A = this chain, B = another copy of it.
C-alpha cells in the first residue's frame, strides 16, 4: 500500500475519505475475542472482576445456587403470595403428573414422585422466579415411543422403568454439560417457527393417543403417527366403550369451559387451575358410587403410599439398550430444555429480570440427575403450569417448594383416594391441556410475515403427525439450517441508485425514485462472501454487467465504464471469496471496465490486504462510501475522454 500509488482520483474529489485497514491484531488476541463472543456472549465473569477472593467464592456459590442470593431478602409478604401460588399449582400438578406418567407408559405414581424432588432442587439452583417444575406431555410421549421401540412396557415393565430412569439421567447429564460447556446456544437452533409447529404436532399426536383412554381400548398401537393410530382405532370399533366415551366428553367439556372462562377473565385463573383436580375428585366419586369400574371404565388402581424410593441402583450402564437410553435422553433432554428455557425467558421478560440460559441448563440438568436417582422421570418447566404459577402471583421459587410439600403430603397420606380415579378423566385433562398448545394464530402470523418460517412450521407439524416426533424435529431443524445456508449460498445482489437530492445510494427496488448514474453500475452484495456463494456471485455479477451493457446498447446511452461494488453488507470473506474477486477483476479488465470497491468492512479489508488484492485493484479505487466512489468515477468520466481513460487505466494495471 505504498503511498506513492495514492495519486488519483480521490485526491481530485473534494472530501473523499480513505478506507482504513484495521490495525493488525495478534492472532492469539483475536482468537480469544472470538472464543469469548462464541461461548461467553453474556460476559458472566464481569461481576467477578476486581473482587477479593472471599467475595469471589461467595459470588461463585451464588452463581450455582441462586437461592443464596435471594433467600436473605425473602419477606413474609413474598411467602403469602408463594403459598397461594404453590397450592394452586399443586392442584394442577397432581392430576397432570399422574396423566403424563400414564402417557409415558410409566406407573402413575412416578408422576407424583416427579413433582416432589425436582422442584426442590430447582428452587435452590434455578434463576427463574416463575417456572413451575413438572413433567411435560411431549417428553413423556417421546419417552414412550422411543423406549417402546426397544422394550415393551407391558411385557417387561421393570426393564422399561429402569431404562426410563437411565434416559432421564443421561438427559440431565446432557443438559448440565451443555450449560457447563457454555453450549447453550444449541437450543437457539430450535427456532420459534420450529417450536410452534413441533408443539402443535406433538399436541395433536398426544391427543390422538388419548383416544385409547377415551374409548376405553385395551390394545393400542405403539406408533404415534396419524395413520397407525387411526388404523388401530377403527379396526377395533367393537371394543369401543360408550360409558367411557360419554364420561370423557363430559369432563373435556367441563375443562374447556373453565379454561375459556378463565381466559376471558384473568382474575378467575384459579377456576381453570382447580378444574383438573375437581374433575379427578368428581370422576373418582362417580366411579366409587356407581361402581362404573365394573362396566368398562378403567381406573388407576392401587397407588403405593410413601415418598420417592431411591433409584440410583436402577440405572443401567451396561446393557444392549444403553444406546437407546442415551439417544432418548439427549432428544427428550433438548426438547425439555428448549421448553423450560423459553418459558423462563418469557416470564422474566414480563417481570423485567434476567435469566442466564447456561445457568438454567445446569439447574435443569442437575434436577434431572437427582430426579433419576429418586424415582423421577424427565422434568422441566412446562408452560401451562408456569403460566398458572405466574397468574397466581408467585414471587420466588418458594412456590415450587410449597408445591413439593403439598405433593409430599399427598404421597404420604392421600394416594388411596386416587384408587377409583377413571383413566378417562386423565385423558380429558391431557387433551384439554394439549389443545392450548396448538397455536394456529401463530402459524397464521408466520404465513403473513415470513413464508419460509411458515414452511418450517408446517413441515415440523406434518413430520410429527405423519412420521414421528423425532422425525418432525429433525426435518424442521434441517429446513431451518438449509435456510441459513441458502441465505449464504444465494446472497441477494441489488442495483443501487441515487436518492434524489442526496449523495445516498440505495437499492432501486426499494426506492423506485432512485436514479442510476450513466456509465456507472453500482451493485450491492448482501451477505458474507464464502466458498458457498463465490461461484454464484461471480456468475451473478457477470450477468448484471451483461444485462446493463445490453440495456445501454439498446437505449443508446453512454457505455459502461465503472463497476462499483458496495461491500457494506459483506461481513466476512474467505479465501474462495478473494479468488472470486480476483476473477471478477480479470473479467472487468477484459471488458475494459474499472472495478471499484465501496465501504469494505474491517474483516474484509484485513483479508484483502493480506492477500494483496488491495495492491491488485489499487488503493485509490477503494472508497468509504458509494457516494464518494460515484463522485470519483464521474470526475474521471467528465475530465478525461473515454478512450484515453481506458488506455490510461490499462497501463495503470500493468504498473501495479
Q: Which residues of A come within 8 Å of B, CB atoms?
A: 15, 17, 20-23, 27, 31, 34, 37-38, 41-43, 185, 188-194, 349, 352, 357, 445-446, 448-453, 480-481, 483-492, 494, 499, 501-502, 504, 506-507, 509-512, 526-528, 530-536, 539-540, 543, 568-572, 574-576, 578-579, 583, 586, 590, 601-603, 605, 607, 610-611, 624-625
Which chain B residues border A445 with CB–CB below 8 Å? Answer: 575, 611
- Contact among B15, B188, B450, B491 with A571 in the assembled complex (CB-CB below 8 Å): B491
B15 and A502: CB pair below 8 A?
A: yes
B502 and A193: CB pair below 8 A?
A: no
Q: How far is the CA of A543 from the CA of B611 in the complex (A)?
A: 34
How many copies of the shown chain assemble into the complex? 2
B499 and A17: CB pair below 8 A?
A: yes
- Chain B nearest Cβ from A487, distance in angstroms: 6
Besides A487-B528, A568-B568, 16 other A-B contacts (C-beta < 8 A): A17-B504, A20-B510, A38-B486, A41-B539, A191-B531, A192-B575, A194-B531, A449-B575, A449-B607, A483-B574, A485-B485, A487-B572, A494-B602, A510-B601, A526-B571, A569-B569
- Contact among B194, B349, B449, B532 with A583 in the assembled complex (CB-CB below 8 Å): B349
Q: Would A448 and B507 be within 8 Å (CB), given that A189-B531, A490-B38, A569-B571 are in contact?
A: no
B510 and A605: CB pair below 8 A?
A: yes
Determine the residue in chain B with the shortest Cβ distance to A342.
Answer: B535
Q: How far is the CA of A188 from the CA of B540 in the complex (A)?
A: 15
- Contact among B490, B570, B574 with A453 in the assembled complex (CB-CB below 8 Å): B574
Q: How far is the CA of A484 from the CA of B487 in the complex (A)?
A: 10
Which chain B residues border A571 with CB–CB below 8 Å? Answer: 487, 491-492, 526-527, 569
- Chain B nearest Cβ from A424, distance in angstroms: 38
A499 and B43: CB pair below 8 A?
A: no
Which chain B residues border A624 with CB–CB below 8 Å? Answer: 499, 504, 506
Q: Is the interface of A mostly helix, strand, loop or mixed?
A: helix
- Chain B nearest Cβ from A109, distance in angstroms: 38
Which chain B residues border A485 with CB–CB below 8 Å? Answer: 481, 484-485
A602 and B504: CB pair below 8 A?
A: no
- Contact among B193, B507, B533 with A574 in the assembled complex (CB-CB below 8 Å): B193
B610 and A448: CB pair below 8 A?
A: yes
- Chain B nearest Cβ from A531, distance in angstroms: 3
Which chain B residues border A533 with CB–CB below 8 Å? Answer: 188
B579 and A484: CB pair below 8 A?
A: no
What are 6 of the A-B contact pairs (CB < 8 Å)? Answer: A31-B451, A190-B531, A191-B532, A194-B531, A491-B571, A569-B601
Which chain B residues border A502 with CB–CB below 8 Å? Answer: 15, 17
Determine the residue in chain B with the shortest Cβ distance to A580.
Answer: B192
B534 and A188: CB pair below 8 A?
A: yes
A543 and B601: CB pair below 8 A?
A: no
A185 and B536: CB pair below 8 A?
A: yes
A192 and B492: CB pair below 8 A?
A: no
